[in-house]
Structure 1
Amino acid sequence: MIEILAPTELPRAKEVGALVAEILQTLKSRSAVGTNLQDINRWAEAMIFEAGAQSCYVDYAPSFGRGPFGHYICTSVNDAVLHGKPYDYTLADGDLLSLDLAVSKGGVVADSAISFIVGDSKPPESVAMISATERALQAGIAAARPGARIGDISHAIGSTLHEAGYSINTKFGGHGIGSTMHQDPHIPNTGRPGRGYTLRPGLLLALEPWVMADTADLITDADGWTLRSATGCRTAHSEHTIAITNDGAEILTLPARQ
């Protein structure tokens, strides 16, 4: 299913996008050395409920997971890159943490992810990897405009990641979004320009470049959800929800201070 929002629905999409951005930035500011991943999950739960919104994750049970996800946010540390289940782990100095959050409010969903390093240690390779996903995300957004194709976005993201020296897994990538979290079209993180669905105003997309330092292969953790790099290398993940407008693309999950 591909949904196209009417112009009157865009304010609701902006509202939920701003909420997701605010929660992620608050969680980032609280994620320090000694913070437990379960605390991050509890904080996310409280902020979602206080806003009168609903989690998209608690009851989420797709075919690739093991039963309902059962938590309010994905917390992926170091070699975990996607769908990281919060567990009893205390963050250490230099950990690379990715937070992925999807929330529904007013019948519209927004989805975003950020990666950052906890504490004072800033391993250069991790800093470079996070930067590459952020640059790829901006390249994908720049390619998103009415009349462009999904392949144009994929090509822009993939070119940036390849130039940075990373291999790309195409099983998990960006996606359409609207009244539900995951919709068509699928947006691989690399592809050929000029191919795929034609973008039009009112379409919401979640773009999410992610990479692993030295592999494109994933393994599934014992929890049935957390996806890790097959080699144990570090990973990074960046994501925004955007709306295709008459003039291009508007980022809905950009933090207010940006």
Structure 2
Amino acid sequence: MEIKQLQRYFNSAWLKFSFDTLFRLARDPWQYVSAYEQWKYEQELQLLPSTSIFQALELGCAEGIFTVQLAARVQKLVAADISPIALMRANQRCVLHQCENVKLIQFDITQDELPSERFDLIICSEILYYVGNQTILQEVAQKLAQALKPNGYLLTSNDYRVKTSPHKSENFSNSRVFGAEAIGATLSQTKLQLVKVIRTPFHCTHLFQRSLSSSESVVLPEIVSFSQAEIPQPQKGLFDWFSIAAIANGWRR
């Protein structure tokens, strides 16, 4: 096994251990049932295309709180997470809500190959903080774009507190914690075209669509902005996204 491949294997094992530990310490450690997170979910669901969605993939499904909402909007849903504990709870939730169209899998976006089928929709929110470095972020962005059907959609929502962009920082390649701006910019460098953006003082949601060809004309995305007074206030969860990301990524130095 090559050194690079071996390193990624241990990185994956470390992330699995870290997230299993978090879910052992608390249920819903990210406060997904809070008014703020539920408001985010409502905005994401409203961004979904009105056309029928046959095959969807949710990466980082955690305990399945959004999974059961998404399952009602698609015909088939593959929900993935790196933590077996989270997946066990997600399975219990899906059984409770009778989500028979959901398939749960253990998956690490930096290490594992995506399912062979192409998807009409991929949800990839709050997990790209943990990929480790800009090179891997670019690899993951390409992997996501290639997993979509032509005209398929990628929806990603990420915290806005880290606003570093590869266009604004010469040292970005050395950065190990990415926020919404950097993630959106990296995804835009693939075959994905930005369709719509929802901005708040705390997070940013991007809706991308896979272009049919590079010759398509670029259309400026629709941008919707909300002020702090218009949205529920975020509740501080047991754990902070960027603190965990900094610890997880810092271990890889």
Same fold (TM over 0.5): no
Larger helix percent: 2
TM-score, scaled relative to structure 2: 0.31
**Structure with higher RCO (Cα < 8 A, 6+ apart):** 1
